[in-house]
Amino acid sequence: MAPSSTTGAGTLYQYINCRILRGGKIFREDLWVRNGKIMNPEPLFFDEKVIADVRIDCHNLIISPGLIEVQLNGGFGYDFSTDVDIEKGISKVAKEVLAFGITSFCPTVITSSPTLYHKVLPLIKKCEGSSKGAGVLGVHIEGPFINKERKGCHPVQLIQDFDNGFSDILDVYGDLSNVTLVTLAPEKKNALEVIEEFCKRGITVSVGHSSANLVEGEAAVRSGARFITHLFNAMLPFHHRDPHLVGLLTSDKLPQNRKVFYGLISDCIHTHPAALRIAHRVNPDGIVLVSDAIGAMGLPDGTYQLGEQTVEVQGYEVYIKDTNILAGGTATLDYCVRCFAKETGCGPVLALEAASLHPAQLLGIDDRKGTLNFGADADFIFLDDGLNVKATYIAGECVYTSST
């Protein structure tokens, strides 16, 4: 019999009786994992001449790359836009979201004061996932350089301009080392030079909370912007004479090598099912599903604090207190995946890729995250045919198992 593994190579796992999502298809094939990476079985057989140390029967479940959440404001009573126990809050949320199939996420900080940014941003450190929780890919700062007319739940008194260019960015945010994604309004004065500087620093730029027309949006993309924050929400609606930022989905004025991704809050509250279907049919490859969940995610109905705003939660609906203004939601990302699959009829492949591969492509980490390609990080989830999460693995280690 062949040896189980080469000396010092680490335990070799073989997941059998499963259907894996790879290369835009779900097909029946075993998954091989060693040292926290997805392995190519051919060199194992023909070069190393080894067999698995451990074989795991998956009982015909789907294995998908772990979900990646790029817009998460908090959860389980913790709000990332405050300085109250922020490190404890990140730790708590990172652990709890494993049940939703999330293996990596971007904690999102909304429009806040410079004092808060200077205090909080250095504390939200990038890290790989583990049994302690999902990995932190870096902060998504949503504001304060947005349009007051499209503020949504953002506190208007804290919205700012960058009249002095990128120096204003540094004054307001302070340390940018933990920042991965920034949402800004591209129609603001000096926006293009600010976008270019963010890109030079390796920070992804998103346009959103904006009254920009299509021409302004196209200019932003040519300057380096790659994302639209929660499409349809907090922006001018589509108009046949000027489709505004929505028009970026079909624009022919963009660089040929520049792909525009866009966030969709597919909880069927922020975005009507018909709008989900329109986006899906127009530009399926750019979809990035997000929850935009707030600190009340995982908690019962009631009144809670989001940054400096008081909000009311009823089911998955969250509004600024005593208004009809949506203020995020409490739906989880796996719920959004199921809603999107159901309402668009797109099937499990696109629904899962829109919450794994696409966000990884957006952030430029798809060489190691968001796929089950050989050599990628072994961050994956087990799902049933209803796309319910049954188990979550990070670096090949089981970190969550469903009790049902």
Q: Is 230 annotated as a binding residue?
A: yes
Output the pLDDT for position 318: 84
Q: Is 270 annotated as a binding residue?
A: yes
Secondary structure string (H, E, C) spanning 38-101: ECCHHHHHHHHCCCCCEEEECCCCEEEECEEEEEECEECCEECCCCCCHHHHHHHHHHHHHHHC
SS3 content of the chain, % helix, strand, coil (to 5): 25, 30, 45
Share above pLDDT 70 across residues of the chain, in percent, rounded to a whole number: 97
Q: Is 153 annotated as a binding residue?
A: yes
Output the pLDDT for position 4: 53
Share above pLDDT 90 across residues of the chain, in percent, rounded to a whole number: 87
Q: For the chain, which domains are there?
A: 12-64+372-401 (2.30.40.10), 66-363 (3.20.20.140)
Contacts (Cβ under 8 Å, ≥6 apart) of 132? 91, 94, 95
Residue scoring higher pLDDT (125 or 329): 125
Q: Is 142 annotated as a binding residue?
A: yes
Of the candidates 311, 266, 289, which has an alpha carbon nearest to the alpha carbon of residue 154? 311
User: What's the pTM?
Assistant: 0.96
| Dist CA 23 CA 6 (whole Å) | 29
Residue 99 has pLDDT above 80, yes or no: yes
Residue scoring higher pLDDT (299 or 281): 281
Q: Is 118 annotated as a binding residue?
A: no
User: pLDDT category, 1, cuts 50, 70, 90?
Assistant: very low
User: pLDDT category, 304, cuts 50, 70, 90?
Assistant: confident
Query: pLDDT digit string (tens) for 120-178?
Result: 999 999 999 999 999 999 999 999 999 999 998 899 999 999 999 999 999 999 999 99
Residue 111 has pLDDT above 90, yes or no: yes
Of the candidates 369, 343, 330, 350, which has an alpha carbon nearest to the alpha carbon of residue 100? 330
27-36 residues labelled b (16+ CB within 10 A) or e (exposed) = eeebbbbbee
| Dist CA 69 CA 71 (whole Å) | 6
Q: Is 358 annotated as a binding residue?
A: no
Output the pLDDT for position 311: 81
Residue 3 has pLDDT above 80, yes or no: no
Output the pLDDT for position 8: 52
For 46-57, what is the mean pLDDT? Answer: 94
Please identify every residue annotated as catalytic: 292
Query: pLDDT digit string (tens) for 19-29?
Result: 999 999 999 99
Output the pLDDT for position 200: 98
| Dist CA 358 CA 353 (whole Å) | 6
Output the pLDDT for position 349: 98
User: pLDDT category, 7, cuts 50, 70, 90?
Assistant: very low
Output the pLDDT for position 308: 64
User: pLDDT category, 108, cuts 50, 70, 90?
Assistant: very high
| Dist CA 156 CA 171 (whole Å) | 19
When mean pLDDT is compared across 59-73, 161-175, 233-247, the lowest value belongs to 233-247
Residue 305 has pLDDT above 50, yes or no: yes
User: pLDDT category, 310, cuts 50, 70, 90?
Assistant: confident
Q: Is 327 annotated as a binding residue?
A: yes
Chain mean pLDDT for the chain: 94
Q: Is 241 annotated as a binding residue?
A: yes
> Does 41 sit behind a cis peptide bond, omega within 30 degrees of 0 on the bond before it?
no
Residue 212 has pLDDT above 70, yes or no: yes
